Amino acid sequence: MANTIVSIVPVPAMVANDGSEKSAVSATVQTDGSPAQAGVNVIWDITGGDGPSSSTTDDTGVAKIEVTAKDGVATITVKASTTDDLTGKTTLITTYVPLKAPVVLNASDEDGWTLDHYDIEFGVQAEIPYYNNVKVDQEVTFYWGDAWSTSLFVTEDNLPPYILEIPAAFTVNGEYDVYYDVRDNAGNPPVSSSHLAITVDDEGSLTPVLVMPQVAEADPYINMSDVADGVSVLVNYPSMAEGDAISLYWVAYDSQGRKIEAACDTQQYDVIADQKSVTFTIEQTKFYPNGMGYEGYAEVYYTVLPAGATAKQLSETCRCLVDTVPA
């Protein structure tokens, strides 16, 4: 019996040239003219890109791999063959220069582009940055994987960057291909950004084991005069060591307990050698959301990922009364 490659198809057939986007390549195999059974080995030869060197057919006789571009290449060549069919079939995947990648608050290369329980609890924000060749009347569509998308139009009064709140219903555990594309009003093909592979890993709350942060201005109220130069938050837990990754969360609420997104803040810091404390500053603008003061409170806490560890630690929460409404 001879296993032969009868077709090879990449989807999509064009990917970003920075390795951030995947093309799913499928090879259909026949055995003596009939669909191959599951388990037939297919050999993949990839030039200009990265992907597995082999995979096996499923129960429909199709073998699949995912391919990304090597940085800066123009074309990727993908060949599928078998030991019975060394010639096989070949396909080309072209590339494009992507727009600047979106930004997802609290996700970075250092943490594997992962959002944890505290990031989700804080609220997930994404930013579409100012990209190349911004023009009025362009339509910008943001994609949070297949779960959620939203579109907006560039106007003279509404230019990027754009800040987006990701609905909580779409931040459940899973992996999300995050990017945006831009379409003009002339009907040209859209231009896409670099892709981010965001993982949501909501482990649930932890028992606080670190001392709460200190906010000197909360005595007990943080008022208008207190915020003139920003509000300092001191973090100084006893086990602080070089390489610790600290994430500070400042979550604001009005007097009815409703979260005020524009007054919230989150910041990150990596501890350096011999450091015993870290001071974060909450800027004055966070106390005047939408240009107005508010009366309510803020809850401030932090997490620490100790150097070389895989589990985070949580602090006690400090609650600060806020009143920045003019008398």
Question: Are 286 and 252 a contacting pair, CB within 8 Å?
Answer: yes
Residue in 191, 161, 187, 189 with CA at minimum distance from that of residue 179: 191
Cα 82 to Cα 59: distance, rounded to the nearest angstrom? 17
Q: How is residue 19 written in tokens?
A: 């390795």
The H or E element containing residue 249 is: strand 245-254
Question: Count of CB atoms within 10 A of residue 33's CB?
Answer: 8
HSE (CB half, 13 Å, CA atoms) of 169? 4
Evaluate the omega torsion of the peptide bond into residue 12 and state whether it is cis, within 30 degrees of 0. yes
- DSSP annotation of 86: S
Kindly report whether the global pTM for this prediction surpasses the value 0.85: no
Residue in 99, 113, 82 with CA at minimum distance from that of residue 6: 82
Q: What is the pLDDT of residue 109?
A: 85
Can you count the helices (H) and strands (E) in the chain? 1, 27
Question: Are 193 and 134 a contacting pair, CB within 8 Å?
Answer: no
pLDDT in tens, the chain (327 residues): 899 999 999 999 999 999 999 999 999 999 999 999 999 999 999 999 999 999 999 999 999 999 999 999 999 999 999 999 999 999 999 999 999 999 998 898 878 899 989 899 888 999 999 999 999 999 999 999 999 999 999 999 999 999 999 999 999 999 999 999 999 999 898 999 999 999 999 887 778 999 999 999 999 999 999 999 999 999 999 999 999 999 999 999 999 999 998 999 999 999 999 999 999 999 999 999 988 999 999 999 999 999 988 888 999 999 999 999 997
Cα 22 to Cα 16: distance, rounded to the nearest angstrom? 8
Q: What is the pLDDT of residue 247?
A: 94
HSE (CB half, 13 Å, CA atoms) of 157? 0
Q: What is the pLDDT of residue 205?
A: 73
Q: What is the pLDDT of residue 110?
A: 75
Q: What is the pLDDT of residue 327?
A: 78
Q: What is the pLDDT of residue 322?
A: 97
Q: What is the pLDDT of residue 289?
A: 93
